[in-house]
Structure 1
């Protein structure tokens, strides 16, 4: 069995976190609803009367990637689907896809597993 670090990133499987709420908008795109759960975020939100949730409207491409992060498809498979559905609009597909997946993961919106 290879270590996680040795595995090709395209083989990893992204999965939306259960604690991230989202909805489909009328235009077919996705809005993420992100709760401010960390203590510092809650304190600052209280002090500055900021909203308790943040909404993030994804574009067509981001929305499609989000819906494909189901815990079953690898990043490579998601890339193939995106290329088929969006064509040149998505290029450079894998470069953009990997950056977006990493951003979602870094912000705690998805998990990435090697299996």
Structure 2
């Protein structure tokens, strides 16, 4: 089976936060995201392997800035420009931003909407 070619520019995608995800900001301005583990296999892991029902993930300064900048209107290009302006000495900022957003999407913390909608 051949790979499906996507002819859209990744920088046009608009990240949208999952409204079901809870998060809080600490006194330093960093974000903690809470992921609730539900479903059959997670229940088994919680019961037999003492896995938590909710995991807390602490974002660093960069991740917290990106999380706070996502407003369901800005595309990835705009986010990258704001990231560069806020952290001018950051190396490979665009590739780091894209990788971070991919991780968020893989864990269902964000989706994409607008002209850059991805269905994969």
Structure-2-length-normalised TM-score: 0.86
Aligned pairs for 1:28-107 (under 5 A) are 28-88=29-89, 90-107=90-107
Structure 2 Cα separation of the partners of residues 55 and 61 of structure 1 = 17
Q: How many residues align?
A: 111
Contact 1:7 1:114 in 2 (8 A): no
Question: 5+ residue gaps in structure 1?
Answer: none
After the TM superposition, which parts of structure 1 deviate over 6 Å for at least 4 consecutive aligned residues?
none
Structure 2 Cα separation of the partners of residues 109 and 39 of structure 1 = 20
Structure-1-length-normalised TM-score: 0.90
Q: Please tell me the root mean square deviation across aligned C-alpha atoms, in Å.
A: 1.4
Question: 5+ residue gaps in structure 2?
Answer: 116-120
